[in-house]
């Protein structure tokens, strides 16, 4: 079989995929950095936001709430530099599934809370309506980004490729 110049060229997907991956990596990093930074100044409020979901004892909720901003910031930093991208995408996906399940649970149980995803959350004021569907849809979008990185973690300008001794080639998939 003879290989022609047109068949040797990488397809559009092979050229576009690494750049979509870089956008997904940096977009998800921005989400985690913003979420963590918005909570880091008031760890007690973050603990109260987790407790508002009423799914665990108060003491455990406050510990998780206080730790969550640091986890989010660490995920964001690792994604910015592109280090352990597949692992970070997996942790991100798991965390997002927990967030989606928590919001859906609060909705199903009739709780009127702010998710606390990007700052202080907790009980809403009387008469204030929760916005669960947009929050779930937003987190599903973030989950798609994490899923993309789970499948294709190699992206341009990431330490993963540099530490492996090479940058991803055009059309290279993992």
pLDDT at 14: 86
Query: 101: which 2 tokens?
Result: 């399940």
Distance CA 53, CA 166 (A): 45
Q: Which residues of the chain have pLDDT under 50?
A: 169-174
pLDDT at 4: 55
**H runs (alpha helix) in the chain:** 5-8, 12-40, 43-51, 58-81, 85-108, 132-151, 159-163
pLDDT at 2: 56
The DSSP code sequence of 21-54 is HHHHHHHHHHHHHHHHHHHHT-HHHHHHHHHTT-
- Residue showing tokens 């510990």: 63
Nearest CA-CA partner of 174 in 149, 155, 147, 153 = 153
pLDDT at 171: 45
Read off φ and ψ for residue 112, nearest 5 degrees.
-110, 85
């Amino acid at each position: 079989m003879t290989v022609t110049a047109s068949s040797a060229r990488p397809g559009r997907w092979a050229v576009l995929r690494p750049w979509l991956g870089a956008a997904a990596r940096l977009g998800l990093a921005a989400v985690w950095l913003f979420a963590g930074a918005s909570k880091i100044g008031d760890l007690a409020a973050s603990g109260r936001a987790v407790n508002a979901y009423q799914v665990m004892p108060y003491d455990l909720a406050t510990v998780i709430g206080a730790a969550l901003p640091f986890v989010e910031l660490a995920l964001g930093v690792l994604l910015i530099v592109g280090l352990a991208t597949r692992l970070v995408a997996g942790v991100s996906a798991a965390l997002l599934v927990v967030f989606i399940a928590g919001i859906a649970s609060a909705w199903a149980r009739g709780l009127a809370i702010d998710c606390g995803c990007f700052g202080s959350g907790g009980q809403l004021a009387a008469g204030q309506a929760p916005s669960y569907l947009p929050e779930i849809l937003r987190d599903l979008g973030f989950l798609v980004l994490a899923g993309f990185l789970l499948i294709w973690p190699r992206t341009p300008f990431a330490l993963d490729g540099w530490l492996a001794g090479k940058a991803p080639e055009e059309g290279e998939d993992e």
